[in-house]
Chain A
């Protein structure tokens, strides 16, 4: 089963490599990984979808191992939390002027947009859950998809709900953005 984790990491060179290397090293299977900036310039946010054949036990393993990386600040599992998840796809379809209308009407149904029109192709942009995007892809396929790119899932919990933090007492569960305990002194 796929689990979705949100990890906050320090925005430093090489951190993505550390996370990716960890997943390889511990033999976890990444389905998708999306990284980007957050509202704070020194923090990046990763949404990682991982196959967890052993369920929560694997999820615990993943969280605990992520915390072994010094640059990882917080990890939550949002798999079963009410949350908004989105994927974005750009899909290039081989259609001349005669079939553009057909693509256009499909796009309308899926609330997608045509963002580029060339002589014999168009690019469709679609945002939504993976299911919705899969649905659109299926319908576009017969028209001739020649190129496609997807961002992978990004996720955000609804309201003030947090995801699950399984690692008892691990650094992340202590971390609050206004908290000075981020300063380890010795």
Chain B
């Protein structure tokens, strides 16, 4: 059967189970858009390609499936770049499909010609430049396979216009032939044996749970391992949700804005079990003094992460779920009571400084608001955040019980991620409650997607934590630049009016007493709703490990008068 390249693309994309695509048309992808009309694809017309990229990313994070985003050549494709890098840094499976000028024009600086495969080479797991229709089927098949297997990541397919139009014989490739690409699942037996020896000797072990635990679907195995060996579990920012926050072995988040007892536990451990995490500088602090007495076992699917930042004693290269399944029957049961008690002691000290104990002063603190939303939603909502202080407070106070409900840009820290990611997640879980939490700065970076949300009827609740500052940068200037505020003061538009101009019901909240009612109202009102919270302007996120400091050199929460705070 002869089909056009564009038709072949959709034949293959539909066979991958794709139902929704986020994109933006233009000259170089018009044949793709024309052919799309004949296939069961719901296309979401975004307002900026970056928004489309984040939506596909949010869809992928929430669904565990591959997201798809499209753009035209030149500026369309370059607008995707931030979104591609965001997906790359967090290992998110997204297939990006861009139009390219006709093959015979390539290299001639034709209208809207940009070297997209060149630009995206270092920010994709793999990419393709397609110049002929008969290359499309194989490329699409491979792209989806590469995106979702091994360590997942974004793959880009740049398709020349002539290849979209040309007709060729279509035969669906049943297998992919990639001699150089064979992700492994099982770690070698000898390495498992060495790991077991370390586990047996450990008296103060700790699990560092990363995003890999979620990507691998290893939540249950993680629970079994932790409980059987009575090993406490600390999470990276992206690992949150893999282990239930309320579990007695849960230590919450580690790192720069991790809890004091969590970081102390890492520093004082004698065995680190790093599960699907990559010792990013935001979780280790300075490497010179990092967990000095700990042996290290690193379970990691990407061999290039092993020894990258921290040299480890036993690398277990493989899929976390598989490796844990191999390991669990071999480990003995342990109790580490003494160690767990020691950590509890640190925790009690940290708890005394909890912001929940702050006196009631009728100001709005983001941490309290997050806790309020958490309570109202029973900790069950899908939460997308933007980047900044509110992101850290959300990580600290929206205690996640379940996996894949936490969408945040960790590796790249991309402002503007929150709203579009929430919209993308809605396409994966239309019956779930979804909240986008953003700062006044980041929200304005992709604010245009409000319009997409309305056009699609996306039911997302938006909370803007408006402190009239680029809060996180302000905090750094306060702490490390003698409070010399430079370019952080931000005057924003009237967010309520902006929402209403889009037909989105909205409220501004300035008093503590209005909070509970406003959250309830947002939850009851159907469709997209926006709440703007006028929060304390110069609040700071604690604890904090200054960049380059040791993990246990934290700036702690200030002890405020412990007048018991009225429950909100």
Contacts and interface: CB of A to CB of B under 8 A. Distances in A.
The 7 closest A-B pairs by CB, nearest first: A64-B304, A182-B179, A171-B182, A73-B180, A64-B303, A169-B184, A167-B303
A72 B129 CA distance: 18
Contacts of A109: none
Nearest to A58: B307
Interface stretch (B228-236, B310-318, B358-366, B473-481): B310-318
B181 A70 contact: yes
Interface residues of A, number: 36
A98 to B, nearest CB: 50
Nearest to B151: A68
Contacts of A25: 122
B131 to A, nearest CB: 9
Given A68-B304, A184-B181, A14 B317 contact: no
A60 interface: yes
B117 A14 contact: yes
Dominant SS among interface residues on chain B: loop
A89 B315 CA distance: 43
B487 interface: no
Contact of A67 (B122, B178, B304, B307): B304
B304 A65 contact: yes
B121 interface: yes
Given A73-B180, A184-B182, 14 more contacts: A14-B129, A18-B121, A21-B122, A60-B307, A70-B126, A170-B184, A171-B180, A174-B182, A175-B180, A182-B178, A183-B175, A185-B175, A185-B176, A186-B176
Interface in A1-29: 9-10, 13-14, 17-18, 21, 25
Nearest to A174: B182
B182 A71 contact: no
27 contacts: A9-B180, A10-B179, A17-B121, A21-B122, A25-B122, A63-B303, A64-B302, A65-B304, A69-B126, A70-B125, A70-B126, A70-B178, A167-B303, A167-B317, A168-B191, A168-B315, A169-B317, A171-B181, A171-B183, A171-B184, A174-B182, A175-B180, A182-B178, A184-B176, A184-B177, A186-B149, A186-B176
B430 interface: no
B122 A169 contact: no
Interface string B315-326: 101100000000
A167 B308 CA distance: 13
A169 B302 CA distance: 10
Interface of A: 9-10, 13-14, 17-18, 21, 25, 57, 60-61, 63-65, 67-74, 167-172, 174-175, 181-186
A183 B180 contact: no
Nearest to B183: A171
A25 to B, nearest CB: 5
Contacts of B308: 61
A170 B306 CA distance: 12
Interface in B280-333: 302-304, 306-308, 311, 315, 317-318
A21 B121 contact: yes
B179 A175 contact: yes
B80 interface: no
A68 B307 contact: no
Contacts of B117: 14
A168 B178 contact: no
A186 B145 contact: yes
Nearest to B176: A184
Contacts of B129: 13-14
Contacts of A13: 129
A73 B307 contact: no
A38 B5 CA distance: 33
Given A17-B121, A21-B122, A170-B184, A67 B179 contact: no
A115 B307 CA distance: 49
B188 A61 contact: no
B83 to A, nearest CB: 19
B407 interface: no
Nearest to A167: B303
B362 to A, nearest CB: 51
Contacts of A60: 306-307
Contacts of B307: 57, 60-61
Contacts of A9: 180
Interface in B104-126: 117-118, 121-122, 125-126
A5 to B, nearest CB: 15
Contacts of B118: 17
Contacts of B191: 168
A169 B318 contact: yes
Nearest to B149: A186
A171 B191 CA distance: 17
Contact of B177 (A64, A68, A171, A183): A183
Interface string B178-211: 1111111011100100000000000000000000
B499 interface: no
A71 B177 CA distance: 11
A156 B187 CA distance: 30
Contacts of B317: 167-170
Contact of B302 (A14, A68, A175, A186): A68
Nearest to B118: A17
Contacts of B122: 21, 25
A106 B122 CA distance: 48
B373 interface: no
Contacts of A185: 175-176
Q: Identify which of A72, A169, A171 gathers the most chain B CB atoms within 10 Å of its CB.
A: A169
